[in-house]
Amino acid sequence: MTSELHWFKSSYSSNDGPDCVEVAISDPTVHIRDSKAKDGARLAFPAEVWAQFLEFTAGN
């Protein structure tokens, strides 16, 4: 199922090195993975929870 997702580098990732977080959006879920471990563990959040997280991190 997640192999059909379109993954892209998160804007929160560093531009200076190979350490990247990748994100894929499939309504209503946001998927997150480590770009160095594409077949490793992944996180999945409801879109509204991810939006709350981004709002929280923007304020800190």
At 2, the pLDDT band (50, 70, 90 cuts) reads very low
* Chain mean position to CA 33: 6
pTM: 0.74
- pLDDT for 59 equals 81
Q: Mean pLDDT score of the chain, rounded to an integer?
A: 85
Tens digit of pLDDT for each residue in 20-44?
Answer: 889 999 989 999 999 888 899 999 9
| Domains of the chain by residue range | 2-58
- pLDDT for 1 equals 45
H or E segment to which residue 33 belongs = strand 29-34
Contacts of 5 (CB under 8 A, 6+ apart): 24, 26, 31
